[in-house]
Structure formats: C-alpha cells, structure tokens
Chains A and B, each alone.
Chain A
Amino acid sequence: MENVGALALLLAFCISLYSIIASVVGRLKGKPFLTLSGERAVLAVWALVSTAAGILVYGLMTSDYRMAYVASHTNRDMPSFYKFAAWWGGQEGSLLFWSWLLSTYAAVAVLTSRKTHRNLLPWVVAILSTIQLFFLNFNAFIASPFQVLAVDKVVTSVADGMGLNPLLQYWAMVIHPPMLYLGYVGFAVPFAFAMASLIEKAPGESWIHTTRRWSIVTWLFQGMGIALGSAWAYHVLGWGGYWMWDPVENASLLPWLAATAFLHSVMMQEKKGMMKVWNMVLIASTFFLCIFGTFLTRSGIVSSVHAFAESPIGKYFVAFLALGIAATVWLILDRLNYLRSESDLESVVSRESSFLFNNLVLLASCFAVLWGTLFPVITEKLSNEKISLDAVWFNRLMVPIGLFLLFLTGVGPLFAWRRTSIDSLRKNFQWPGIGTLITAAALFAGGMRYPYSIISLSLCFFVTATIVLEFFRGANAISEKTQSGFIPAVIELTHRNTRRYGGYLVHMGMVLMFIGWSGHPFNETSVGEVAKGSTMKVGAYNLKVLDLTEGELSNYTWETAKLEVTKNGEFLEIVEPTRRFYKAAQQATAVVALRSRLNEDLYINYAARAGDKATLQAYVFPLVEWIWIGVVVLIGGTLVCLVPSKVARTYTRTEVVGVAKENAPVEV
C-alpha cells in the first residue's frame, strides 16, 4: 500500500514537471494540443496526490503501525476524528496536505477557467505546477509520509502509536490548521492569474474579476484559521490569552494583512484603473508571505512556543523564495509600461486617498510585524547577539496602527470618489462625529482612564454610526420607492450591492472585535491557594471552595475544585475548574471553568495542588465575548460579499493601455 502511495507521489512529481514544460512550450510555439495536455496533467496530478493522501488517511484510520507517520501521530484509543486529523498533525502529513490542497485548487482553477481564459491558462498552469513541483519534491524525496518502521531492514510494526498531545485534542485545534492551510495555499491561484496576465500583457482587469472570489474565500479561510487558533488558546491553555505575538502567530497574520490591503486596493483598479503596480506587488507579497509563513513555522529559525518538527527543509524554502521574488520583481519592472495608471489622485479628502492610506498603514503594520518577528535573526546576523522583542513592543506599535485603521474604516467608505465636498462631509459626519465626542466624554466621566480604551470605544461608536446611517439611508430610499417595510428594504439594499453592504458588515465585525480588545486594560487577576471552605475574590466575584476532589479514569487522573460563585452577595452558579493529567502522554491539561457573559467573562483555572490546598487562577475578562461575536459577524459579512449582486452595474471608463476598447464594463 505505502509503496503505491510513494509511487503516486513520484509520478505526480514527474507529471507536474511535464505540465510546466508542456504549457510553456505549447503557449510559446502556439501548439494548443500541448497546452491542453498541460491542463490535463494538472488533473492527473490531482488524482495521484489524492490517491497518496487516501492511502495515508486509510493507514491512519486503520492504525497501520508499520508506517512511521501513523505510529508517531496516532494511538489506538484516539477517536477516529482525531485519527483523521493526524493527517495534518505532523511535518510529512501536513506537507502532503499542502500539496493535496494546491492540486485541488489548481484542478478547480483549470476546470472553471478553461473556456474563458484560453490565453492566460497556460501560464496559470505553469505557475501553479511550479509551486506544486516544489511541494511534491518534499513529499516524494525529502519528507515522505510513507516511511515504514523496520528492524534490520525487515518491516515491523509497533503495538501502539504515540498519539496526539491531549492539549491539541480540542475541536477548534483540529480545524484550525486546515483553515490556515486553505488560506495559505489559496493565494497561489490569484497570484498565478496576476503573473499570467503580466506575462501575456492581458488587457483590462480580467485577472482581478476572475480571482475576486478566490481572494475573498481564501482571505476568509485565513481569518477563520487565525480566529480559531486564538479561541483555542483562550479556552484551553488556561492563561486566558488569545494573542501573544508569537512568531508562528505572526506568520499567519502577515499574509492576512497583505491580503486585506489587496482586497481594498483592487477596488481602486477596478473603478479607476489606478494602483496597478501596487496590486501586483500586493498579491505577490501575499503569496510570498504565505510561503514565508510555511517556512518560518517549519524551519525553526526563530524560537516559538509552538513546536514544529524542525528539519533541513528550510534551505529549499529560502531558495524558492529568493528565485520566486526575483522573477516576480523582474516581471513587474519589465512590464511597468503596461501597468500605467489611468487616472490621478485629486484630493487628500477622497475615497482614493482613504484607500491609499488604508493600504499604506496595512502594509506598514505588515512590515512592522515582519521586522519584529525576524528581529532575533537580524540582530544575530548584524551583531552576533540574538535579541527578541516581546509582546509589549508589538502592542505599543500595533495598537495605535489598529486604531488608525479603525478610524479609516469609519471615514473611508463615506468619502466620495475624486474629492469630497464640505457639504457631503457635514451630511455624513456631523452626527456620528458629535456622537463620538459625547461617547468619549461619557466614558471619561464614567471613570475610564485608559486613553486607548476611550479612543477605541469612541471610534467603535463612530464607525457603527456611519455604517448604520448608510444602511438606514439606502433602505429608506428603497422602502419609500417600493412601499415595502424597512427590514425587506434592508435586505433588498444589501442584495443590490452585496459587495458594498457585505463589506460594511465585515467592517462591523471588526468594530465588535475592537470592542472586545478595548476591555483588555480592565482585566482582573487573582491567584490564590485555597483550602476547602475558604474563599477568594476576583473583581466583584466571590469564590467559595465547597469541595476539592480527585479521581482516576482509564486514561487520565483528575483534580477538581467545586466553587460557589457569588457576585455582590447574589448566588450565580456552581463551577468546577478541573485539571487532568493524561497518563500516556504525561501531560496535564486544564479544563477551565468559564462563565461567559456579554459584559465580562469569569475565567477560573485550576493550576496546581499542594497538599490539601489548591492553587486557583481566577480572572475577569471584560468584553472578551465580543471578539468571538465579531468573528461570526465578519464571516457572515464575507459570505454576503460572495453572493452575486442582483443589479450588475457597469461603470464606464476608458482603457488607456492594452487592446483598444472604448468602454470596459466593470462588474461591481
């Protein structure tokens, strides 16, 4: 079986190579049959990689402990769900997972655009196959998932595998990696289309239209992956944090930031024909940051709390990145003429300029995070001292940047294109502006003394007000015209221009997350050693220890504290924070007692036991729940963006460069 899998990967490697050659030669020599065979080769690669993946998954599910990968990532007691998830649990498997996702994306790209993009497709195929080849090189030769265990060259099996760390046996942790991978891998497709249109000097923005859905879906996956990781940290690790600027976290944030900038600036190109070079740079940066992220998490060049199999694959990534970036830069420089802007910036107070600043700030923050993450590597190279920057540095920098972005979220969509008149400024911003100042004053009068929280919450009010006003004005106009109710009018409005109103919903999701983050300075902590009958306080809560018990189950022992929670003398509930110790793994995990409410979370972790006393960590985290609500709203808004608009509007604008066309229809 495993020989078949290894053979499939080897064949896939050869066919990918063929696909690159056939596509490029076929296109250059004008041989349609050759390019067609290149496209079919992509499908063949998908079939082969799927076969290999199927064999690995079969091995995992049936506990075939002759296979090294299966033995080191699963054990017999594991639920099938986790056995399946072991596919991406380790180095070899996750690289195969990467390959498989890429081949799937490539196959879908070929199937969906072979009718519409005949001239671009050979290049798209060639670029995707090159990336595929790079990963298949790992799968087939360097980190094969099909290695078997052997003693003196005789294949043997072990009785039971080593299993998965119990800390990771949590639903969010199982879907967190595939979500991130779907994001990481997915940006390859828009990148391939962008480069293909550069190579072909294709007129218009067809690559943007074609890949708009790809980019949005991929961006969504990436965002969900990040959010799931943070939710896992919060709910499972027992310290109540959701983000600590660890290099691995940063690696996932970087492409997301670049992609966010890209999603905004393509609108400039579609509507005004501006920022063409910039968009090429952004999509290329996003893609290379994805590869860089994969490299960072696997090569071990920076130390992280996240452990990954460290292996010599780093140098391949460095080579791939260097060649890829060099080729992209050369291509963009060579085609600068083709990327000339069609219009000019006119005013600082305009939609264009708000996009420009949004992009600038997103990219600056991306660069700052990259700099901070690589700081130990840079200082080691320069001065032979490895110096790291901690979370304090990142927060000092990223909090103001985040607030500025939040501000732009409020003002940007309301500025008019080209320039904004004083009248329209007044109409759009008078009431939200006054309301914002009142909010800030009220927060200050209410005793809030943290400037960032005051600014953040006031800006949240501001952005919410502008978004609500937009919906209200639009829906009012519709409901007057059609005599329908307000709610149907809102739905109608959104359906007419899903991209715009879905976008507002995404912004609203971000606002809710900012509300959650604003609660951070008000966190309260209390650590205490308590015995049965004693009490401890955290914030307004009083925790009375009713009982301390312990016990043993087949795979773990547990200790728990039974606590009576009262707030201001009023009984709320009984909670039982627990600590488990998994015997096989020799690993303790916390089962945190969490009481989530919209205003605050009460979070209790059973940390340790000493004699008849237990160490409890109790926290009050105000507003944290809003972060997760914001994520849900953001996902909903993104899905709305993906629904086709009911009214397909066309903007006319003159094409300056490319094949002569008077008016290019632009789908909005």
Chain B
Amino acid sequence: MRKYAKFGILIALIVGSITWVATASIQSSKTYYVTITELNQMGHQASSKRVRVGGDVQENSIVRTAGVVKFNLVQETKVLSVVYEGRDPLPDTFKDGAQALAGGRLDDSGVFHAQEVQAKCASKYAPKPGMAPDGLQKKITTEGQSSSYRSSL
C-alpha cells in the first residue's frame, strides 16, 4: 500500500499546486464585464475595479489627438465617452461602427479611461441594419417562407 500512498501524495501535490496557483491568481487578474448601464450604476465602486465594457464605436466620434484617442461607445441607447490612454496604437479593426471592448476604469466625471481597447476581428463585414440602400428580403427556398434578411444588402 505504500506504493499507492506515494502515487496519492504525488497526484495530490500536482493537483493541489495547480488549484492553488489557479485560485491565487484569480484576484489579480479578474476583470469585470459590464454593460454601460451597469457601469453607471456601480458609482464610485467602478473606479476601484478593473472593468471591461463593450459596445459599438459611435459613428464619427473618434477624435485622435496627440497621445490620446477619444471616442464614444454605444450600447442600445446608452453612450459612454472613452479616453484611450494606452501605449499601443489602436488595432486596425478599430473604426466607426466596430464592436469594441474597452478595459480600464471610470473616473468621477463619468469618463472611462481605457488602457486597452480590443476591436472585433470580423470575419466579414456587413453594413449595419438600417443603413442598407434597399430593403432586400431573403426567401428560404427549402421552405418557401420569407423572412427579413439579417443585414440587408
């Protein structure tokens, strides 16, 4: 049985240390995903937590000045003004209408200071609904039903 005790101890040691590292690092690297509404409700709590907020980049809201980039994120009807102060230039996918995730902290005046911005790497690009030139509809040939086309061409 000593043999099994040895295996048992080794296995416990490995599993234990992995679990320990995993749980110990959660505190330092966790980031809260919030919506703009939730961010506003968090109040002063928001400034102490690392937060990631997502939304669409508002059309024509990107202003590039020396060192910082300002833009607005839109989520449904809520708008959040963001100041990007990170060191790396923004990714190529960051542009008007793109889905973006900004990571950083909210200040007291309600401006979000982002240290990192990720923009979605779209596998295809499609105009937003409502911007389409004509209201094309798709017909499902197999069933013969018609339903409105998701992002009209």
**Per-position 1/0 for B103-125, Cβ under 8 A of A:** 00000000000000011111111
A618 to chain B, nearest CB (A): 12
B12 to chain A, nearest CB (A): 11
A72 to B137, CA, bound (A): 13
| B92 cross-chain contacts in A, Cβ below 8 A | 167, 237-238, 587-590
Q: Knowing A150-B138, A608-B89 touch, does A305 contact B31 (C-beta < 8 A)?
A: no
A10 to B143, CA, bound (A): 11
A156 to B89, CA, bound (A): 43
Does B153 lie at the interface of the complex (its beta carbon under 8 Å from any beta carbon of A)? yes
Does A260 lie at the interface of the complex (its beta carbon under 8 Å from any beta carbon of B)? no
A195 to chain B, nearest CB (A): 28
A148 to B151, CA, bound (A): 14
B25, B89, B124: which has the most chain A beta carbons within 10 Å? B124
Q: Knowing A150-B139, A239-B91, A396-B21 touch, does A162 contact B126 (C-beta < 8 A)?
A: yes
Does A90 lie at the interface of the complex (its beta carbon under 8 Å from any beta carbon of B)? yes
B66 to chain A: closest residue by CB: A610
B50 to chain A: closest residue by CB: A390
B146 to chain A: closest residue by CB: A153
B29 to chain A: closest residue by CB: A393
> Chain A: how many interface residues by the 8 Å CB criterion?
80
| A617 cross-chain contacts in B, Cβ below 8 A | 88-89
Does A47 lie at the interface of the complex (its beta carbon under 8 Å from any beta carbon of B)? no
Contact of B21 among A390, A400, A589 (CB under 8 A): A400
A167 to B94, CA, bound (A): 13
B134 to chain A, nearest CB (A): 8
Check B32 against A72 for contact (C-beta < 8 Å).
no
Does A45 lie at the interface of the complex (its beta carbon under 8 Å from any beta carbon of B)? no
B7 to chain A, nearest CB (A): 6
Check B149 against A149 for contact (C-beta < 8 Å).
yes
Check B142 against A144 for contact (C-beta < 8 Å).
yes
A288 to B66, CA, bound (A): 50
A368 to B64, CA, bound (A): 40
| A393 cross-chain contacts in B, Cβ below 8 A | 22, 25-26, 28-30
| A326 cross-chain contacts in B, Cβ below 8 A | none
| A7 cross-chain contacts in B, Cβ below 8 A | 142
Does A200 lie at the interface of the complex (its beta carbon under 8 Å from any beta carbon of B)? no
Does A206 lie at the interface of the complex (its beta carbon under 8 Å from any beta carbon of B)? no
A516 to B26, CA, bound (A): 27
Check A89 against B139 for contact (C-beta < 8 Å).
no
Does A328 lie at the interface of the complex (its beta carbon under 8 Å from any beta carbon of B)? no
Check B3 against A346 for contact (C-beta < 8 Å).
yes
B106 to chain A, nearest CB (A): 16
| A164 cross-chain contacts in B, Cβ below 8 A | 124
User: Which residues of B in the span 34-67 have a Cβ within 8 Å of any Cβ on A?
Assistant: 34, 52, 54, 64, 66
Does A563 lie at the interface of the complex (its beta carbon under 8 Å from any beta carbon of B)? no
Q: Knowing A89-B124, A158-B153 touch, does A141 contact B142 (C-beta < 8 A)?
A: yes
Q: Knowing A165-B122, A345-B7, A608-B89 touch, does A151 contact B25 (C-beta < 8 A)?
A: no
Does B68 lie at the interface of the complex (its beta carbon under 8 Å from any beta carbon of A)? no
Check A165 against B125 for contact (C-beta < 8 Å).
yes
A282 to B138, CA, bound (A): 44
Check A147 against B136 for contact (C-beta < 8 Å).
no
Contact of A165 among B15, B101, B123 (CB under 8 A): B123
| B95 cross-chain contacts in A, Cβ below 8 A | 586-588
Check B3 against A150 for contact (C-beta < 8 Å).
no
Q: Knowing A68-B138, A239-B88, A608-B89 touch, does A303 contact B25 (C-beta < 8 A)?
A: no
Does A155 lie at the interface of the complex (its beta carbon under 8 Å from any beta carbon of B)? yes
Does B131 lie at the interface of the complex (its beta carbon under 8 Å from any beta carbon of A)? no
B3, B6, B138: which has the most chain A beta carbons within 10 Å? B138
Does A73 lie at the interface of the complex (its beta carbon under 8 Å from any beta carbon of B)? yes
Check B6 against A348 for contact (C-beta < 8 Å).
yes
Contact of B141 among A3, A73, A376 (CB under 8 A): A3
| B52 cross-chain contacts in A, Cβ below 8 A | 388
| A404 cross-chain contacts in B, Cβ below 8 A | 14
Check B139 against A307 for contact (C-beta < 8 Å).
no
Size range of the chain B interface in the assembly: 35 or more
Does A140 lie at the interface of the complex (its beta carbon under 8 Å from any beta carbon of B)? yes
Check B88 against A149 for contact (C-beta < 8 Å).
no
B125 to chain A, nearest CB (A): 5
| B137 cross-chain contacts in A, Cβ below 8 A | 149-153
| A387 cross-chain contacts in B, Cβ below 8 A | 30-33
B61 to chain A, nearest CB (A): 15
**Per-position 1/0 for B73-105, Cβ under 8 A of A:** 000000000000001110111011001010000
A636 to B33, CA, bound (A): 43
B119 to chain A: closest residue by CB: A305
| B146 cross-chain contacts in A, Cβ below 8 A | 150, 153
| B7 cross-chain contacts in A, Cβ below 8 A | 345, 348, 353, 356
Check A397 against B22 for contact (C-beta < 8 Å).
yes
Contact of B138 among A6, A147, A168, A353 (CB under 8 A): A147
Contact of A6 among B22, B64, B141 (CB under 8 A): B141
A586 to B26, CA, bound (A): 39
A384 to chain B: closest residue by CB: B38
B3, B30, B95: which has the most chain A beta carbons within 10 Å? B30
A378 to chain B, nearest CB (A): 11
B51 to chain A, nearest CB (A): 10
Contact of A368 among B10, B22, B31, B141 (CB under 8 A): B22
B126 to chain A, nearest CB (A): 6
A348 to B151, CA, bound (A): 61
Does A666 lie at the interface of the complex (its beta carbon under 8 Å from any beta carbon of B)? no
A141 to B141, CA, bound (A): 11
B67 to chain A: closest residue by CB: A529
Check B139 against A146 for contact (C-beta < 8 Å).
no
**Per-position 1/0 for A385-397, Cβ under 8 A of B:** 1111110110011
Q: Which residues of A contact B (CB under 8 A)?
A: 2-3, 6-7, 9-10, 68, 71-73, 89-90, 140-141, 144, 146-153, 155-156, 158, 162-165, 167-168, 237-239, 303, 305-308, 345-348, 353, 356-357, 360-361, 364-365, 368, 371-372, 376, 385-390, 392-393, 396-397, 400-401, 404, 527, 585-590, 607-608, 610, 615, 617
Interchain residue pairs A-B with the least CB separation, the first 6: A607-B89, A386-B33, A150-B139, A393-B29, A6-B142, A307-B122
Additional A-B contacts beyond A150-B137, A156-B136, A397-B18 (16; CB < 8 A): A72-B124, A73-B124, A144-B140, A149-B138, A150-B146, A151-B134, A158-B136, A162-B126, A303-B33, A306-B123, A364-B14, A368-B18, A385-B32, A387-B31, A393-B29, A396-B25
Q: Which residues of B contact A (CB under 8 A)?
A: 3, 6-7, 10-11, 14-15, 18, 21-22, 25-26, 28-34, 52, 54, 64, 66, 87-89, 91-93, 95-96, 99, 101, 118-126, 134-142, 146, 149, 151, 153
Can you offer 22 A-B residue contacts whose CB atoms are under 8 A?
A: A71-B153, A89-B123, A90-B124, A149-B137, A151-B135, A158-B136, A162-B153, A163-B125, A164-B124, A238-B92, A303-B101, A307-B99, A307-B122, A364-B14, A371-B22, A387-B31, A389-B29, A393-B25, A527-B87, A527-B88, A589-B92, A617-B89
